[in-house]
Amino acid sequence: MHHYTQESRLGNNIVFLHCSGYSATIQQWRGEMVSFEEARSIILSSVQVSGVEHVHLLEAAGRLLAADMVAPWDMPMWNNSAMDGYAVRSADCRQLPCRLDVKGFLPAGSQADGVTVEAGCAVRIMTGAPTPEGCDAVVPVEETDNGQGVVTLNEPVAKGQHIRLCGEDVPAGMTFLRTGTLIRPPEVNMLATFGKGLVPVFRRPTVAILSTGDELIELGRTPEAGEIINSNTLSLAAAVQEVGGIPHIIGIARDNRESHLEKIREGLKADALITSAGVSAGDCDMVRDTLKELGAEQIFWKVAVKPGGPTAFAMYGAVPVFSLPGNPVSTMITFEEFVRPALLKMQGHQRVVRPLFKAVLRESLKKKTGKVQIVRVRLEREEGRWYADSAGNQQTAILKTMVNAQAIALLPSESGSFAAGDEVDVHFYGNYIELE
Ligand code: AMP
Ligand code: MG
């Protein structure tokens, strides 16, 4: 299948393992509850890289290179001086102090054609200027008397010193960047160095965002009794943007079939669709039925995770549909754990899951077995170890704890209790970047 070709093109270093096995057996999850790990793997094996486009170099920063880049010329393009100083013949400089006649001047940007260092002579040369014929060393100005007509050298001169050789960085024809490389400032510099103004990168997926519910009003008006502001659309759009996707806001589907059909149909035109709410077992929850009516293939419904249990995943052709629970905390957490990796993979990323590390719990914790429990924590580093504290009330209605969290602890499904001092897996969440 197409996405396997893409994967192998990106190399085997893919963080999610055993993915290729899932497609073949996807039937077995149709509409059923899956484990946290299965949910991720199924999603990641279902989504494909979004295709390739050519963008201006500056726009390519932060994107993934979609082709190997081959050097069109040697870099450096010619032998050149690494210092401001004098181009000399090292054989002339054995006896110190040594005096040479200065004949000629090569500033950066000049050409060395026709310039030769004659025996007993030196050519004044600036950093980056091509080294002239006859020269096999450059003497930095600091190691001389800076003479104009005649220069006196005070330090020994080694053959080849301070000369950068043609092609020593990258020879012509060498692959200097590989497909799948994240384009950071160093890659930008290298691409610019080789004249690559237009760069092939994997496309940023368009991601339709749809909220559902009769209780929702759009931002801009103070809610009256029973109303709540549609905050999920905005927070999902911000999250999509943060990972490089292009959010398409579809608005609100009201709790009736026609409205759901109209809005979901519109959402399915994007590269991916995220819906929020209407996916539990409530009377008004009609996202999954509508998707089915429109011909989407339901892959799983419900994940053994808390919060985020009612999450559903479907495919409409090549368009992944993430149906997230409506509770804002659950929406954000399920985006983070399930949607974010998928959107990264669609853009060609190979490391799509945040790295886990161990943190020591400060307090004991109890949970139900059979589900992964997600705990919002604050972190502190002491004597080389990370310590995790609850970021506050863990109820899913508490937004404040989401704001205060620096990391997410993933408590494994099989364990029911944790003592203070136990180590658990955590990953950073959001913009927490203080590493030490
Ligand atoms: P539901 O899954 O439709 O029962 O929604 C679960 C909870 O999430 C309810 O309390 C909703 O009011 C809330 N909710 C649903 N959609 C949104 C939204 N777009 N923004 C903020 N809260 C929402
Ligand atoms: Mg609802």
Q: Does residue 309 have its Cβ closer than 6 Å to ligand 1?
A: no
Ligand 1 pocket mutation pick from 216, 256, 302 by most atoms within 8 angstroms of CB: 216
- pLDDT confidence of residue 44: 97
For 45, the 3-state DSSP assignment is helix
Nearest CA to ligand 1 atom 16: 326
How many Å is the maximal CA-CA distance in the chain?
A: 97
- In angstroms, the CA 399 to CA 393 distance is 9
Minimum-distance ligand 1 atom for the alpha carbon of 280: 2
- Ion ligand 2 contact residues with beta carbon within 5 A: 213, 277-278
Q: 258 Cβ partners below 8 Å, 6+ apart?
A: none
Q: Does residue 215 have its Cβ closer than 6 Å to ligand 1?
A: yes
Q: Write out pLDDT tens, residues 298-343.
A: 999 999 999 999 999 999 999 999 999 999 999 999 999 999 999 9
- pLDDT confidence of residue 431: 55
Minimum-distance ligand 1 atom for the alpha carbon of 282: 4
- Beta bridge mates, 99: 152
In degrees and rounded to multiples of 5, residue 118 shows phi and psi of: -80, 160
Nearest CA to ligand 1 atom 1: 277
- In angstroms, the CA 176 to CA 71 distance is 6
Q: Token pair of 36, please?
A: 């946290």
Long-range own/partner contacts, residues 95-102 (CB < 8 A, 24 or more apart)? 96/153, 96/154, 96/155, 96/156, 97/152, 97/153, 97/154, 98/152, 98/153, 99/150, 99/151, 99/152, 99/153, 100/150, 100/151, 100/153, 101/149, 101/150, 102/147, 102/148, 102/149, 102/150, 102/151
Q: Cα–Cα–Cα angle for 285, 289, 295, nearest 5°?
A: 150
Element (H, E) at 24: helix 20-24
Q: Write out pLDDT tens, residues 188-228.
A: 999 999 999 999 999 999 999 999 999 999 999 999 999 99
- With contact defined as beta carbons under 8 Å apart, do 364 and 420 qualify? yes
Quick one: which ligand is closest to 213's CA? Answer: 2
How many CB atoms are located within 10 Å of the residue 335 CB?
Answer: 24
Residue matched to tokens 């000369």: 163
Ranges of residues in the chain with a pLDDT under 70 are 1-31, 430-436
Quick one: which ligand is closest to 329's CA? Answer: 1
- In angstroms, the CA 283 to CA 213 distance is 12
Q: How remote is the CA of residue 217 from the centroid of ligand 1, in Å? A: 11
Quick one: which ligand is closest to 310's CA? Answer: 1
Q: 49 Cβ partners below 8 Å, 6+ apart?
A: 3, 6, 10, 202, 345, 346, 347, 348
Nearest CA to ligand 1 atom 5: 326
Q: Token pair of 316, please?
A: 């409409």
Ligand 1 pocket mutation pick from 227, 232, 324, 402 by most atoms within 8 angstroms of CB: 232
Helix/strand/coil (H, E, C) string of 391-403?
CCCCCCCCHHHHH
Minimum-distance ligand 1 atom for the alpha carbon of 215: 12
- In angstroms, the CA 45 to CA 254 distance is 32
